[in-house]
Amino acid sequence: MGRNVKNGSAKGKKKKPVVASSTDLFSRYLFWTDNHGESLEKLWSKVPANIGQLIVTLAMFIFGLTVRGEWLLLAAYFAKYLQSGGDANYKEETDELLDSFSSWIAFRFNGFTTVLIWSTIVSYLMYFGIGGFLHWYYYINRRDKANEWKCQPNNWLTPALERHEIMVGSLSLVFGSTISAAFSTYIMNGGPGTKVYFQPGDFGYLWLALQGPLIFLYQDYMTYIFHRVYHTPFLYKNFHKLHHTYKQPTAFSVTAIHPVEFVNMQLVLLLPIFIVPVYWFTLVVLFSYIYYHGIVDHSGINFKRHWWQPWQPDCIFHDNHHQYFHVNFGFNMEIWDKLHGTMRRKDRIYREDIYYGYGKKVEEATEEEMKLDREERHNENPLAHSENKNDYLLD
In a domain, 344, yes or no: no
In a domain, 209, yes or no: yes
In a domain, 97, yes or no: yes
Backbone angles phi, psi at 333, to 5 degrees: -145, 135
Q: Which domain holds residue 35?
A: 26-302
In a domain, 31, yes or no: yes
First to last CA, the chain: 30
In a domain, 276, yes or no: yes
Q: Name the pairing type of β-strands 348-349 and 278-279.
A: unpaired
Q: Which tops the pLDDT comparison, 227 or 68?
A: 227
In a domain, 104, yes or no: yes
pLDDT of residue 218: 95
Report the percentage of the chain scoring pLDDT > 90: 48
pLDDT of residue 34: 60
Q: Would you tell me how many other CB atoms lie within 10 Å of the CB of residue 24?
A: 11
Model confidence band, residue 193 (pLDDT cutoffs 50, 70, 90): confident
What is the model's pTM?
0.83
Model confidence band, residue 241 (pLDDT cutoffs 50, 70, 90): very high
- In angstroms, the CA 195 to CA 203 distance is 11
In a domain, 17, yes or no: no
148: amino acid identity, one letter? E
Query: Would you say residue 305 has pLDDT above 70?
Result: yes
Query: Would you say residue 315 has pLDDT above 90?
Result: yes
For the chain, what is the domain count?
1
108-165: pLDDT as tens digits: 788 889 989 988 898 888 888 888 888 888 998 889 999 999 999 999 999 899 989 9
How much is the mean pLDDT over the chain?
84
pLDDT of residue 82: 78
In a domain, 218, yes or no: yes
Q: Which residues of 37-62 are buried (b: 16+ CB within 10 A; e: fewer)?
A: beeeeeeeeeeeeeeeeeebeebbbb
14-64: pLDDT as tens digits: 444 444 444 455 556 555 556 655 666 677 676 777 787 778 778 777 777
